[in-house]
Amino acid sequence: MPGKIIKVTGGQRLRGSVRISGCKNSCLAIMAGSLLAKGPVTLRNVPDISDVHTMTEVIKSLGVYCDFKDNTLVIDATCIPNTHTDYKFVSKMRASFNVLGPVLARCGEATISRPGGCDLGERPIDYHIAGLKKLSANVIDLQSSLEVSHTGLKGTSIFLDRDSVGATEQIMSTACLASGTTRIINASIDPDVIELSRFLQALGANIRVSGKVIEIEGVRELRGTEYNIAFDRIEAGTFAVFGAITKGDIIIKDIIPDHLSSFLLKMKDAGVGIELIDNGDGTDLRVFLNGRPSPTDIFTSPFPGFPTDLMPGFLTLMSVAEGTSVITDTIFVDRFKFIDELKRLGVNVKRNSEQVCMVNGTDALTGADVKSTDLRGGTALIAAALASVGETRIHHIEHILRGYENLTGKLSGLGAETSMIEEA
Ligand code: EPU
């Protein structure tokens, strides 16, 4: 079936400034967390992307009021009439699974379809289930779905084998309405988790973060609030790659440098010019590069490590470096599917194992027809296309539209030759 494609004609050095949208992943977690509040929640700076639209559908399917326009979202979960989340949502977007704990905590029961594998390989939910059980929930695992109920959630200490972002968010949200104190040990301290904790505090939750321990003192009820979604550090990093790979000179407005420190240090190692500019109200990021980048190895790990979501972009930047780089992703078991499409543009990359790739830099990328295999892999294709000679047509862009607001508009504003068109 024909759909939209993104067309890019490479060769333009990007110039000018760009403003980053609200963060997809913290917004999705905060939307799920809004179900904990008995009262209206107003979220501002919400990115207009398809994942947010899917999450509004999930929330509406629970019978909860949810209205999204002009980057503002209102959710009023004073009543949650339905406690079942359907397969059609969970299979489309894994973040839908985050509604489980809040619905359980509010309603005493919840059923949800089990998320399967995804574009990045197998993605288990064992830490989520174990965490809810530790909080005294009853979990019946029906293979294709989960039935969860409780007769009183109780706080306790929970150790996570891995500092999973989603499991930390699920347990932290649920524990807000449990009796007593919950301690999550080896919790994720990813900026998305910290943003969610700030939002929950604005609802009246009692949460303290100390190192990698998150302590939640349960309360009886949470109220509505107004909250501003912070900038998307992955979108900011993606634009930094676009700026560098085109040998451009761009300003990315209003970032929080601490959210991007590992990435920015690795960009510097690669010879990319990185400058933080005080703009009076906050910090702008200038990214510039004249020649080719230097080869640089990366190894992804949980925050404050190098973010897995910026690995595809960085790998692509290394595809034009003067030498060979080793790229290791320790987070997901199958995050390199996109490299086969990059090879169609002339990228010289070889997979050594499921989680390790070697990239030999070249300065001869050429446009071609390619397809996006996942969200971040999709923007890696755009980065390569911007550095290629000739035209690239990127198909299956539904993956890209999940997470980037007005991507071609923002790129055009920086001087890229790109547009989104109907496939013939
Ligand atoms: N894991 C388990 N068991 C669990 C949960 C996780 O074994 O119960 C494993 C995962 O399979 C993975 C590792 O732990 O190997 C880390 O996964 P994590 O739970 O931290 O990831 P997530 O919450 O599923 C979020 C983002 C991802 C981002 C990761 C890591 C959302 C909606 N998704 O996923 O974002 O890559 O954290 O930072 O917040 C993206 O935006 O493109 C994206 C994939």
Does the pLDDT of residue 98 top 90, yes or no?
yes
Q: How confident is the model at residue 3 (pLDDT cuts 50, 70, 90)?
A: confident
SS3 content of the chain, % helix, strand, coil (to 5): 35, 30, 35
d(CA 385, CA 379): 10
| Active site amino acids | 118
User: How much is the pLDDT for 231?
Assistant: 97
Q: Quick check: CB of 95 below 6 Å from ligand 1?
A: yes
d(CA 166, ligand 1 centre) in Å: 6
**Per-residue pLDDT reduced to its tens digit, 166-195:** 999 999 999 999 999 999 999 999 999 999
User: How much is the pLDDT for 193?
Assistant: 98
**Per-residue pLDDT reduced to its tens digit, 252-276:** 999 999 999 999 999 999 999 999 9
d(CA 280, ligand 1 centre) in Å: 35
In sign, the C-alpha dihedral spanning 295, 301, 303, 308 is: positive
* Residue identifier of the C-alpha nearest atom 10 of ligand 1: 123
Q: How confident is the model at residue 1 (pLDDT cuts 50, 70, 90)?
A: low
Atom of ligand 1 nearest to the CA of 24: 41
| Whole-prediction pTM | 0.97
Q: Quick check: CB of 402 below 6 Å from ligand 1?
A: no
Those residues whose C-beta lies under 8 Å from the C-beta of residue 13, and which sit 6 or more positions away, are 246, 247, 248, 249, 415
Q: What residues are paired with 329 via a beta bridge?
A: 300
Atom of ligand 1 nearest to the CA of 28: 32
d(CA 94, ligand 1 centre) in Å: 9
Does the pLDDT of residue 2 top 90, yes or no?
no
Q: How confident is the model at residue 117 (pLDDT cuts 50, 70, 90)?
A: low
d(CA 168, CA 127): 9
**Per-residue pLDDT reduced to its tens digit, 271-317:** 999 999 999 999 999 999 999 999 999 999 999 999 999 999 999 99
